Amino acid sequence: MAASDIIKLLPDSVANQIAAGEVIQRPASVVKELVENAVDAGATDISVIIKDAGRTLIQVIDNGAGMSPTDARMAFERHATSKISSADDLYSLHTMGFRGEALASIAAVAQIELRTMRRCDSVGCRLTIAASKVESQEACTCVPGTNMMVKNLFAYQPARRKFLKKDSVELGHIVHEFERLALVNTDLDLTLIHNDVTLHRLLHGSLRQRIGELFGKSVERQIIPVSTETSLVRLSGYVGLPQFARRRGAHQFFFVNGRNMRHPYFHRAVMSCFEHLTAADMQPSYFINFEVDPERIDVNIHPQKHEIKFEDEQGIWQILVAAIKEAIGKTNAAGAIDFNVEDAPDIPAFSPDRSAGVAIDVDDSYNPFVSGIGVPSADTECKSRPAAVGSAADWDSLTSRFRRERSASLEEVRSALNIMEQSRQAPGRQLGLDELPDIEPAAVSADAADEQPTGSYITVANRYIATPVRDGLMLIDRHRAHVRVLYERIMSCISDGPIATQRMIFPETLSLGAADDIVLASVCDSLARLGFDISPLGDCTWAINGMPSALSAASPAETITDIIARVAATGEIPDTELFATIAASMARTAAVNVSNRMSETETDMLVADLFRTSSPNFTPDGLPIVITIGLDDISRLFD
């Protein structure tokens, strides 16, 4: 007897729930799909009403074209769409949606109530659906347009509903999605209401006005325009000035033909323009729109259409870089020299017959390239270098000269390594590795016991600390070391109770976007335990009245902004992990950076404190703090 066939066609309800897993991931996905449908329907005024961060209700009301009763029912069938009719239409898309999966996926996991009417009709249609099944369809009175209500999201998928985050996190995702849609549709009036509280009421206008309405007037004043037009692409938008770059929470948006997108390749192009204008860990804001021929892009590569493939990526990269650099150069943000300055000294015209008038004595005996330090000194010892460091006195002299000059370049470090290598090979008494002094064992943790600093430190480029160790040379990232030390101090204070607050003489005002305002309100109590004294002033504005005493030298606004960005990226976490996240952000903000100089004593204390911590090799974020260059690697550098 032959075996029965085992391949079967899935029911539509099951297929729709599978598709919903890709298209509808959280309440923000529903907002995106419904608002994009309203935009495609030609609406000029769209309102989004949310209850309980989208769990109970997501309602989108628009004044678009509306639907007939037949179209209203057909819209919830899988792959039913009015956007395209053939495969060739995929290469000339002018609408946000085109697959016909969104409404079918939403209907599979929620309860739907739809009211819609065309302007040419005198009566509208009311349709109710639950779990992909039409429960009723009847005529009703309504205004032209569409009113879509999605109730009890994931009611028919309890597992998916269980994995939703708390309301503040899900609402933050909704606000972020609303902001992306608002930036790309500046010609529309948009409203966002959550639990009867209006979060946004945006009127149509320019992109710059929309940026100010969404993220505050301060951001609007920190951006400069970018514009260019070529045969490949037409670019427009804004980039932030370098001095306003952020470590976290920068506003970074790409749009193509009125559609949001993520594009790591173009992001690297923007970052390359700020490479020498900001610190390595700083992120500039940008709002850049690409207008290209629809036939030269492919948007059909991701279920949510966030990723887009360009046919001419390399050419657009070059155009993007040139346009941004030109915009930055026009604002003198790149440090251009202005020769038209009052009271500038007169520069006489060059005359080959005129003598210089001043005799300059040149010391021919001085050669900076034979000096072990590379820094000129009045001491004759610095004018010539001994062939080898053959005695402890020579080594001590070399060390003391390094310690007098605290800021050394990489070439100077290599020169010092060369001297060390020669001292090991010199005749007579050699400076063996076993003779290097060690720090006290109690100051070194178990995971760093094999790499013990000697206590002789030099600072390289005001960023790294270099010291000899048994196996070669140890390099310590000074900023990251301070982050680790401060982090453990803050966590120790938290375990002992609330951290003391230092009141500010003049409270500082902090203006936030709606999404950041929600996050800050959710962690306000935790911040109070950590020593922050902040209070809401309304309209997404907060007053910073006090800071933790340990952060007295840090920027209050920068510290809180970094905390908001970290918490928003992490999502819903337990209180213990939340404290650790905030402590790491506080430590990173307060730690020394390249612009801060440290004395010899402060450097010694920092290294000692680092090796007393529980994990001196890594920051709380897992970044390396200590790197050891072995003797074999050092020898290869000289070879």
**Domain limit, last residue, from 435, 468, 492:** 435
Q: Is residue 336 part of a domain?
A: no
Report the CATH number that the domain containing residue 536 is assigned in CATH.
3.30.1370.100
* Structure-derived torsion over alpha carbons of residues 316, 321, 324, 330, reported in degrees to the nearest 10: -130
Q: Is residue 590 part of a domain?
A: yes
pLDDT tens column, 14-23? 565 555 545 6
- DSSP class of residue 434 equals G
Place of tokens 């949001």: 260
Q: What is the pTM of this model?
A: 0.65
Q: For residue 16, what pLDDT is reported?
A: 57
Same domain, 496 and 576: yes
CA distance 638 to 419: 11
- In the chain, the N- to C-terminal Cα span, in Å, equals 78
Task: Please give the residue that has the higher pLDDT: either 514 or 299.
Answer: 514
Q: Is residue 63 part of a domain?
A: yes
Average pLDDT for 149-153: 93
Q: CB neighbours of 635 closer than 8 A, spacing ≥ 6?
A: 421
In three-state form (DSSP H/G/I as H, E/B as E, the rest C), the secondary structure along 602-630 is: HHHHHHHHHCCCCCCCECCCCCECEEEEE
Same domain, 393 and 461: no
8 Å CB contact between 480 and 619: yes
Q: Is pLDDT of 234 > 90?
A: yes
Which phi-psi region, left, alpha or beta, contains residue 622 (left: φ > 0; alpha: ψ -120 to 50)? left
Q: Which two tokens stand for residue 261?
A: 């997108």
Report the CATH number that the domain containing residue 234 is assigned in CATH.
3.30.230.10
Q: How many domains does the chain have?
A: 4
Among 91-95, 171-175, 232-236, 576-580, the minimum mean pLDDT is found in 91-95
Determine what percent of the chain falls in helix, strand and coil, rounding each to the nearest 5.
Answer: 40, 20, 40
pLDDT band at 301; cut points 50, 70, 90: low
Q: Is pLDDT of 186 > 80?
A: yes
Same domain, 446 and 576: yes
Element (H, E) at 152: none
CA distance 41 to 256: 19
Q: Is residue 343 part of a domain?
A: no
138 forms beta bridges with 126
pLDDT band at 99; cut points 50, 70, 90: low
Percent of the chain with pLDDT over 70: 70
pLDDT tens column, 30-77? 999 899 889 988 999 999 999 999 999 999 999 999 999 998 888 888
Q: Is pLDDT of 599 > 80?
A: yes
User: How many other β-carbons are positioned within 10 Å of the β-carbon of residue 618?
Assistant: 14
Average pLDDT for 85-114: 69
CA distance 515 to 218: 16
Place of tokens 């070194």: 444
**Domain limit, last residue, from 143, 176, 202:** 202
pLDDT band at 379; cut points 50, 70, 90: very low
Average pLDDT for 245-273: 88
User: How many other β-carbons are positioned within 10 Å of the β-carbon of residue 126?
Assistant: 19
Q: For residue 482, what pLDDT is reported?
A: 92
Pairing state of beta strands 57-62 and 45-51?
antiparallel
- The strands making up 541-548's β-sheet, listed across from edge to edge, are 501-511, 541-548, 533-538
Same domain, 270 and 298: yes
Q: Is pLDDT of 384 > 70?
A: no
Q: Is pLDDT of 323 > 90?
A: yes
Among 467-476, 564-573, 604-613, the minimum mean pLDDT is found in 564-573
Q: Is residue 359 part of a domain?
A: no
Provide φ and ψ at 476, rounded to 5°: -120, 125
**Domain limit, last residue, from 202, 232, 264:** 202
Q: For residue 522, what pLDDT is reported?
A: 84
Average pLDDT for 155-174: 83
8 Å CB contact between 101 and 118: no
CA distance 462 to 322: 32
* Alpha-helical segments (H) within 41-95: 69-74
Q: Which two tokens stand for residue 158?
A: 């309890």
Same domain, 181 and 306: no
Q: State which residues form the domain around 418.
A: 368-435
pLDDT band at 158; cut points 50, 70, 90: confident
R_g of the chain computed on alpha carbons? 32
Cα 384 to chain center, whole Å? 50
Q: Which two tokens stand for residue 40?
A: 């495609």
Listing DSSP states for 326-385 in one string gives HHHHHTTTT-------TTPPP-PPP-TTS---S-----TT--GGG-SS-S--SSGGGTS-
Q: What is the largest CA-CA distance in the chain?
A: 114
Average pLDDT for 340-349: 46
Same domain, 104 and 60: yes
Q: Is residue 352 part of a domain?
A: no
Q: For residue 304, what pLDDT is reported?
A: 53
Q: Is residue 217 part of a domain?
A: yes
Task: Please give the residue that has the higher pLDDT: either 574 or 584.
Answer: 584
8 Å CB contact between 390 and 604: no
Same domain, 198 and 224: no
Helix, strand or coil for residue 57?
strand
Task: Please give the residue that has the higher pLDDT: either 447 or 41.
Answer: 41
8 Å CB contact between 29 and 144: no
Q: Which two tokens stand for residue 513?
A: 């976007």
Q: Is residue 420 part of a domain?
A: yes
Average pLDDT for 310-338: 80
* Mean pLDDT, all residues of the chain: 77
Report the CATH number that the domain containing residue 173 is assigned in CATH.
3.30.565.10
Instruction: Report in angstroms the alpha-carbon separations of 332 from 219, 277, 370.
Output: 19, 11, 40
Handedness of CA 31, 34, 38, 39 (dihedral sign): positive
Same domain, 452 and 414: no
8 Å CB contact between 238 and 286: yes
Element (H, E) at 475: strand 472-477
- DSSP class of residue 11 equals P
Q: CB neighbours of 71 closer than 8 A, spacing ≥ 6?
A: 82
Pairing state of beta strands 297-298 and 458-460?
unpaired
CA distance 329 to 493: 47
Same domain, 241 and 310: yes
Q: By CB neighbour count within 10 A (0-12 exposed, 13-18 middle, 19+ buried), where does 70 fall?
A: exposed
Task: Please give the residue that has the higher pLDDT: either 100 or 38.
Answer: 38
**Angle, helix 313-330 to helix 264-273, in steps of 10 degrees:** 30
Same domain, 387 and 423: yes
* Structure-derived torsion over alpha carbons of residues 259, 261, 265, 266, reported in degrees to the nearest 10: 50
8 Å CB contact between 326 and 300: no
Helix, strand or coil for residue 528?
helix
Q: Is pLDDT of 342 > 90?
A: no
pLDDT tens column, 532-556? 899 998 888 899 998 887 666 667 8
8 Å CB contact between 540 and 519: no
| Residue among 475, 467, 482, 529 nearest 501 (CA) | 529
Same domain, 24 and 126: yes
8 Å CB contact between 633 and 627: no
Q: For residue 201, what pLDDT is reported?
A: 93
- The strands making up 252-256's β-sheet, listed across from edge to edge, are 223-229, 234-240, 286-291, 252-256, 259-261
8 Å CB contact between 365 and 382: no
Same domain, 138 and 176: yes
